[in-house]
A and B are shown apart, each in its own frame.
Chain A
Amino acid sequence: MSAGTTSTGPVEQAGRTEPEVALAVAGLSVRIDTAAGPVLAVDDVGFSAPSGETLALLGESGCGKSITAQAVAGLLDPVARVVGGEVRLGDVEMLGLTPSERRKLAGPELAIVFQDALTALNPVYTVGTQLAEPFRIHRGLSARQARERALDLMRRVGIPEPESRIDHHPHQFSGGMRQRLLIAMAVALGPKVLIADEPTTALDVTVQAQIMELLRDLRAEHSMAVVLITHDLALVAEQADRVAVMYAGRVVETGLVREVFREPLHPYTRGLLESVPAAGRGDRLPSIPGAPPDLHSIPEGCVYQARCPMVQDICRTQRPAPEAVGEGRTSACHFSKELRHG
């Protein structure tokens, strides 16, 4: 089963069973109504996340990765609307569900960890109340039973002295502890898919490592598929099994992280990787010239044409579709084959 294709069933491959696909997104498009008119913030995005693995959605700010995550989780703001595609969670097509059917899956099947834990936690309730909420809503537990489960969760995610801290409010916790609380809430009901939207951006590096370790342990425990939304190449290299690189609302390259990072087959991915500072490299740090296109005026042809060092005439007239460029790899570039050999 390859990241980036649209098929959903498990595929037998040369004696090895690929892990079951927990989340498959295909052709997803999201339109946002802005003051300057509607924009297609997410355009024909596809990827699939297998159980027990981490798929990274990698891209710079504004590339649509968070909108994609929110569209999958059904949490888009009112100005944004899914205008096409499908999101399959196991056997269920999410986009066709009624709001109440969707609510039944929110928590037990699909959960999300937000970037800024301080604003994501409700300031006026104790963390115990908030941790107990999934059990109250979905399992119908009594307040006392749910509180016990909340304590278990706090122990599981490594919050010291849970018995006394359960009655504290979010502002009394450190940033790392708050992120642990968010993660605890997300895994409360053992979801099959966990979307982590920049879960460590607001944290310092040591805490970041602890949080990622916790996520990895929980992934193994629940054999969850983790979708990691990030702009951090190092984090992708360390944590993810697969990567889908996004640019201007589109997926430009997908594949196993080690393969994509060893030999990127899209000029954007290559540009990103070349921009990583390396120790002992004394010369000037290369960067990708220019800026991503304004979503109001996406050019005809390839979205990356304005910044691409390899741009040709065809790039200005024809939009390259994602093509298979190897086992489980796709690239949306007319010249991906040249990249491989060049």
Chain B
Amino acid sequence: MITFLRRRTLSSVIPLAVVVLGVFCLARLTGNPASLYLPLNATEQMRQDFAERNGLDQPVLSQMADYLGGVLRLDFGESLRTGQSAGRMALDAFPATLQLAGFTMLIAVLGAAVVGSWAAFKPNGLADRVCSTMSMIAASVPDFWFAIVGIWIFAVTLGWLPTSGVTGHGIWILPIATLVVRPFGVLVQVVRGAMVSALSSPYVKLARSKGADDYRIVTHHALRNAAAPALTVAGDLTVGLVNGAVVVETIFGWPGIGKLMIDSILQRDFAVLQAAVLVTAVAIFVLNILIDVCYALLDARVRQAAKT
């Protein structure tokens, strides 16, 4: 397992380097920050000073060298907007996103495991048809629509929940409820499909021949086999959420990494954007390694293949 982890980490280095370079180049395509931070009637001298102060007068290659050297020292420079350390800002914003993603996926995975198994138990039965239709709708409707409808009904009309903010438990409900719908819908379909095939497999027949009851068949024999495909999809969905639930964070004013990225793009705040993207990229690589570890824990065949 240790070898496996080491190799997996090493193989992440090159893609991470590509991300580091890519974000540097792409950020510079968004425009010149000077025109945004200086008054419209700024003189050429003011522009020069601004560029000098922020190192933007240097050739692009030397800017890049500075940036790369900083990355190696985990120093991403300062924010143009606030003057704070960019790395600090990204790391401060990240937990909010991670918590949102974590709770959302926890609810989606547990819910989908129960609902998907229930639907799969009698394929084409009433429960299956209801679940399949509902999950298809859930997987297809965009989250901003749920967000807006949710705000309209629960915050504006009924006044039960806050629309945005950072205090109290109520602020969790609408963002999570909005974010959970699509992963839940997608996962119900994946779990259902995997469970239908697991439940019709010869090993389930063998378990029945040993006198295992329905509960044992589902929870012990089928679910663990159905977990691998569900894990793959859940991993992808989590990556999407960690990547910054940009739309939902913006709508609900959630102080997460997605909102930070959008704000820094709009403000040409290169240093913060670079730091935010890099923090996200590292998080996604770590997440992928964790998913691989889960595969190995679930199935000995993966474990042994990793050894060789």
| Residues on A facing B (Cβ under 8 Å) | 73-75, 77-78, 100, 103-108, 111-112, 114, 116, 119-126, 133-134, 137-138, 169, 171-172, 182, 185-186
Contacts and interface: CB of A to CB of B under 8 A. Distances in A.
Contact of A123 (B122, B200, B225): B225
A119 to B, nearest CB: 4
Contact of B203 (A78, A120, A126, A172): A120
Nearest to B216: A137
B203 A75 contact: no
Contact of A103 (B211, B299, B301): B211
A78 B122 CA distance: 9
B207 interface: yes
B210 A119 contact: no
Contact of B208 (A75, A122, A171): A75
Contacts of A105: 211
Interface string B201-215: 111011111111100
B201 A119 contact: yes
A186 B211 CA distance: 11
B228 to A, nearest CB: 9
Contacts of B209: 73, 75, 106-107, 111-112, 186
B213 A103 contact: yes
Given A100-B213, A137-B212, A124 B207 contact: no
Q: Choose among B206, B221, B298 the residue with the greatest number of A CB atoms under 10 Å from its CB.
A: B206
A323 B205 CA distance: 36
Interface in B118-164: 122-123
B266 to A, nearest CB: 49
B225 A133 contact: no
A124 B299 contact: yes
A125 B206 CA distance: 13
Interface in B217-241: 221, 224-225
Given A120-B206, A121-B206, A124-B224, A134 B201 contact: no
Nearest to B222: A122
A114 B298 contact: no
Nearest to A73: B209
A120 B202 contact: yes
Contact of B200 (A74, A77, A112, A186): A77
A125 B216 CA distance: 14
Given A103-B211, A123-B225, A124-B224, A114 B301 contact: no
Interface string B295-308: 00011110010000
A125 B220 CA distance: 10
B298 A124 contact: yes
